[in-house]
Amino acid sequence: MEKFHGHEIFVQLLRLLLLLLLSLQCLSSDYTPPSKYFINCGSSSTISDTTRTFVGDVSSDSFTLSPKPEAVEDSSPSPATSQLYRTARLFRSPSSYEFEIDQFGIYLVRLHFFPFSSPTDLFTALFDVSVSGLPLLLHNFTVQNTSNLPLIKEFLLTINISKFIVKFEPSQESSFAFVNAIELFIAPDSFIPHSALLVTRKGGKNSSYKGLLSRVLQKIHRVNVGGREIEHDSDTLWRNWVPDDTFLFNRSTARNKSYDQPIQYQEGQSEYNYSDRNIAPDNVYSTAKEMNTNKGDQLQFFNISWGFNVTKNATHLLRVHFCDITSASLSVSPWINLYINSIFSRNIKIITLAVPFYLDFVVVSDNSGLLNISIGPHRDSPVNNSFLNGLEIMEIMEELGSVSMENESKKKTTPLLVGLVVGGLALVCIVTVVLSLRSKCRKEKPAEASHWLPVTVDGGLSSHSRVYEATIHGSPVPHLNLGLKIPFAEIQSATKNFSGKLLVGKGGFGKVYQGTLRNGMKVAVKRSQPGHGQGLPEFQTEILVLSKIRHRHLVSLIGYCDERNEMILVYEFMQKGTLRNHLYDSDLPCLSWKQRLEICIGAARGLHYLHTGSEGGIIHRDIKSTNILLDDDFVAKVADFGLSRSGLPNQTHVSTAVKGTFGYLDPEYFRTQQLTDKSDVYSFGVVLLEVLCARPVINPSLPREQMNLAEWVMVWQKKGLLEQVIDPLLVGKVNLNSLRKFGESAEKCLKEDGTDRPTMGDVVWDLEYAFQLQQTAMQREPLEDSTNDAASTFPFPTIQRYPSYSLSTSDIHGPKRRDDSSERTESEVFSQLRIDNGR
Ligand SMILES: *[C@@H]1O[C@H](CO)[C@@H](O)[C@H](O)[C@H]1NC(C)=O
Ligand SMILES: *[C@@H]1O[C@H](CO)[C@@H](O)[C@H](O)[C@H]1NC(C)=O
Ligand SMILES: *[C@@H]1O[C@H](CO)[C@@H](O)[C@H](O)[C@H]1NC(C)=O
Ligand SMILES: *[C@@H]1O[C@H](CO)[C@@H](O)[C@H](O)[C@H]1NC(C)=O
Ligand SMILES: *[C@@H]1O[C@H](CO)[C@@H](O)[C@H](O)[C@H]1NC(C)=O
Ligand SMILES: *[C@@H]1O[C@H](CO)[C@@H](O)[C@H](O)[C@H]1NC(C)=O
Ligand SMILES: *[C@@H]1O[C@H](CO)[C@@H](O)[C@H](O)[C@H]1NC(C)=O
Ligand SMILES: *[C@@H]1O[C@H](CO)[C@@H](O)[C@H](O)[C@H]1NC(C)=O
Ligand SMILES: *[C@@H]1O[C@H](CO)[C@@H](O)[C@H](O)[C@H]1NC(C)=O
Ligand SMILES: *[C@@H]1O[C@H](CO)[C@@H](O)[C@H](O)[C@H]1NC(C)=O
Ligand SMILES: *[C@@H]1O[C@H](CO)[C@@H](O)[C@H](O)[C@H]1NC(C)=O
Ligand SMILES: *[C@@H]1O[C@H](CO)[C@@H](O)[C@H](O)[C@H]1NC(C)=O
């Protein structure tokens, strides 16, 4: 780079522009498989397979071989041997191929060795292979007589010179070198990252290995986990992928899983980099190994482990490929712990189904000569499953005499840039091109350029990472999850261009449509009216919060669209709509008490998770019955995170402009403007009363004292006459103790002073208790549910009937386990079990 020192400012400017360009994703990742160089060595004939043409190395304009060494031919080829492997070039003195390079970038180099029988025993060859200015690719190399023939050695390296030389050199005077075929072709842009997270022998979660692009990588393993061997003709880069079974430590821990639907390639990156067909073909992603557990046995919790032979004490690039083909819906797709050598772990949350992505690590091997990979379910995982689709290990070749893992000098520029500069183009010219490209970009993606700051999401190693992060401006800039982006055209097609027939909801925020994505997934599409309703901050918040968390009782975000100034959010479709619709002002059938309890428990769990889960400290701020949605099975999910706020660490409250919905709003918050998670608890208490009484929280048409639901019901609760005001449709069907427990829980939620209110964890516990009381009563009195005998259900004075004799934690927990699976905090909830809590 020294040569261009004078232009350094210019270069930096260029680099900035290029980075900007890249970040706008204007440089499309279009990659056409190149046509050169594919060389059939020792032959004058051209051989074509389905996708490649290997030209004979006897004569060509674009590469030269000098001096021209002898050619050998298979004297008795078996009919099964490919034409390519029937000839070879034999080198008894140093000789090289020189290739003209017209495009700089990352190249794949493959050397094919097939020691056929010839007058010279090719198994005795002993030689070195080197390339221009780089460490030796092969040293003292000889082809072993194994069953794995032809032997193909593959390397990845950056080429930034216009004449690239591959040199074959016998290791000893008496020895010789040979080769049957050579491939040298450019890989897609960004095929290899510049840096990756470094995993040393000690673990080391925090440093990254920089400068991958200036190293030579040699392929060691390329594995299609859970599937068959993939031959080179099914891969855009002519790679070969082998099955994983021989690498498994314990074959009975894993089983093959395959998927016959299309894989949903997505552009860009979220927390992980999305993959494309050049990174790995469909066949890699449409098969996986998953935990070999019996169907329905959710209680198994173990790792699947593989061990891969690698060079001892060497550095490797490890690329792991994931694509969730194991889950039927997002709410049950696993969170996976990936372990490398037992000393490093990474939590991988699956946020989209059938969307492939990959992660890169640089791993230093130890003296065991094995690189061990394990996967297992994360303890917060909604299901006890884990899976892996593919894996590649490439050794980072040592530069002779230099130390690895140096820090990249700041002066170094991207190879692309170096290429441009070295390519001799005038700088001014480039600037012009870049600028014009950039303005073209702007025209095409106005919303993106003006509204979205691409922020790379850091590894996500900490399970306590906050949703917001302070920036230099002091204002919260969200880690936007750009990878969840859905093109506007796809949304138009999903909703039949926002057909009125598919309209399922309407409000201040805009309109909600039902839609079907191309992959068949049913979704709800929330489209904000431009200039109305939900503003940009709410839009961003929602993407931010939802892309980071997933839970059985929180509505999953599928994606979003911000093209053409649209603010569209796409969620999993909730078949049964809002909770409110099932309570009043509709023709829907009445929910039973048991159903209502289950819904409340579900919503409470979702909220509890939001407050305490791994993303921690998120306050919803707008809990109400229209923000609790029901799926086909009446499973409740909390929705609409547009107003949510994350509590900051070590801060018990957040001062903020009062927002929320009248009737549900915490009076303490209203008074003090200090937001805490107890504000959500208050709102949830109001929802409980709404569920119990099936009426709007504010009904201006009622007499003054009845207008506000919370005030009105609390009067009756305090008198101990709650049953007088409950939904008439429930009268006679509710166990009294269950009702009392429920009423007490609501009352605690509505306490004036936030600190007196329970946590959502306590609320979950109380509601489960109420549920158990109802269940126990029904078991003992099978007809109770159908009787209208108010006297037996509501005896006066109230009889205290506690089932505490049978309530061990496991009893309470037992029947609910399936529902509780996603709760990391369930143990916390149940550790609070106090016998007198039942009173
Ligand atoms: C290469 O092999 C030859 C013969 O086996 C040996 O003498 C030489 O030391 C080896 N060189 C290296 C660097 O291993
Ligand atoms: C290679 O191995 C096979 C069987 O293992 C043997 O039959 C053959 O003779 C060997 N070839 C050479 C050149 O050593
Ligand atoms: C995604 O790829 C880019 C460029 O290849 C790299 O810099 C970045 O670290 C990758 N992100 C993740 C999460 O692996
Ligand atoms: C990780 O690195 C960052 C910046 O390099 C540093 O501030 C932080 O303390 C490190 N964390 C750990 C756990 O080492
Ligand atoms: C080409 O790349 C190598 C390492 O990959 C680097 O050392 C060298 O400086 C680069 N050459 C130019 C002209 O940039
Ligand atoms: C998985 O599939 C591969 C390729 O079909 C097969 O070789 C292997 O035995 C299968 N493994 C299991 C555990 O079924
Ligand atoms: C292999 O895994 C199965 C199922 O998890 C287990 O029963 C068996 O004991 C394991 N075998 C070994 C050798 O670890
Ligand atoms: C891995 O290495 C061990 C010992 O060096 C060897 O026995 C084994 O066959 C190797 N496995 C593979 C798959 O190469
Ligand atoms: C990989 O696992 C094997 C077998 O458990 C063990 O002997 C070896 O030390 C492990 N290697 C690493 C790097 O963890
Ligand atoms: C899975 O493997 C990791 C790393 O070896 C280990 O820490 C963890 O305890 C294992 N989990 C299970 C359930 O065996
Ligand atoms: C690998 O490193 C360890 C300690 O750092 C050393 O004891 C061992 O001999 C090395 N192994 C090889 C093959 O270099
Ligand atoms: C997973 O297994 C563990 C341990 O057996 C159990 O505690 C947990 O509830 C299970 N999780 C799910 C989602 O079933």
Strands (E), 492-622: 503-507, 510-516, 522-528, 557-561, 568-572, 618-619
Rounded to an integer, what distance in angstroms lies between the CA atom of residue 627 and that of residue 562? 23
What residue's CA is closest to ligand 1, atom 5?
Answer: 140
Is residue 246 one of the residues assigned to a domain?
yes
Q: Is residue 216 part of a domain?
A: yes
Does residue 273 register a pLDDT over 60?
yes
The reported pLDDT for the residue numbered 587 is 86
Which of 345, 355, 330 has the alpha carbon at shortest distance from 550?
Answer: 330
Domain-located, residue 417 = no
Distance 160 CA to ligand 5 centre (A): 6
Residues 562 and 584 in one domain: no
Active-site residue, from 244, 360, 622, 766: 622
| 588, 565: one domain | no
Residue 47 · residue 84 · CB < 8 Å: yes
In a domain, 125, yes or no: yes
826 lies in some domain: no
Number of structural domains in the chain: 4
76-107 pLDDT, tens digit each: 888 888 889 999 999 998 888 989 888 889 99
Tens-place pLDDT, residues 574-612? 888 889 999 988 888 989 999 999 999 999 999 998 888
pLDDT of 657 reads 55
CATH number at residue 159: 2.60.120.430
In this structure, the answer to whether residues 43 and 150 fall within a common structural domain is: yes
In a domain, 15, yes or no: no
Pocket probe mutation, ligand 7, options 248, 252, 290, max atoms within 8 Å of Cβ = 252
Q: Is the pLDDT of residue 429 over 80?
A: no
Ligand 1 environment, Cβ below 6 A: 140, 171
Is residue 42, in this structure, part of any structural domain at all?
yes
Whether residues 759 and 693 share a domain: the answer is yes
Considering the domain architecture, whether residues 390 and 506 belong to the same structural domain is answered as no
> Residue 324's domain is classified under what CATH number?
2.60.120
In the reported structure, the alpha carbon of residue 13 is separated from the centroid of ligand 5 by a whole-number distance in angstroms of 20
Which SS3 state, helix, strand or coil, does residue 539 take? Answer: helix
| 439 pLDDT more than 70 | no
Closest ligand 9 atom, residue 341 Cα: 14
**Same domain, yes or no, for 162 and 247?**
no
- Asked if residue 301 has its Cβ within 6 Å of ligand 12, the reply is yes
Reply yes or no on whether 631 is catalytic.
Answer: no
Nearest Cα residue to atom 8 of ligand 9: 368
Query: Which residue reads 């108010």 in tokens?
Result: 790
* Whether residues 504 and 568 fall in one domain: yes
pLDDT bucket at 437, cuts 50 / 70 / 90 = very low
Instruction: Kindly report the backbone phi and psi dihedral angles of residue 519, in degrees, each rounded to the nearest multiple of 5, phi listed first.
Output: -80, 5
Do 71 and 132 lie in a common domain? yes
Q: Do 202 and 181 belong together in one domain?
A: no
**pLDDT for residue 414:** 32
Ligand 1 centroid distance, CA of 635 (Å): 69
Q: What is the pLDDT of residues 125-169, one digit of tens each?
A: 999 998 887 778 898 899 988 878 899 999 999 998 888 999 999
Helices (H), 613-735: 667-672, 677-693, 704-707, 709-719
Would you state the pLDDT for residue 788? 37
Its pTM stands at 0.57
For residue 643, what pLDDT is reported? 65
For a pocket test of ligand 8, which of 223, 309, 391, 393 has the largest count of ligand atoms closer than 8 A to its C-beta?
309
511 vs 372, which has greater pLDDT?
Answer: 372
Which of 375, 397, 419 terminates a domain? The answer is: 397
225 with 267, same domain?
Answer: yes
What is d(CA 69, CA 369) in angstroms, rounded to the nearest whole number? Answer: 38
- Nearest Cα neighbor of 103 from 189, 191, 18, 183 is 189
Is pLDDT at 285 greater than 70 in this prediction?
A: yes
Rounded to an integer, what distance in angstroms lies between the CA atom of residue 368 and that of residue 361?
A: 19
Is residue 12 in a domain? Answer: no
% pLDDT > 70, the chain: 74
Ligand nearest to the CA of 138: 1
Statement to judge: residues 287 and 324 lie in one domain = yes
CB 256 less than 6 A from any atom of ligand 6: yes
Q: Which domain holds residue 66?
A: 38-186
Residues 136 and 200 in one domain: no
Checking if the pLDDT of 525 tops 60, the result is yes
Per-residue pLDDT of 289-344, as tens digits, reads 999 887 666 678 889 999 999 999 999 999 999 999 988 776 777 889 999 998 99
Give the domain CATH number at 527: 3.30.200.20
Q: What is the CATH number of the domain that holds 648?
A: 1.10.510.10
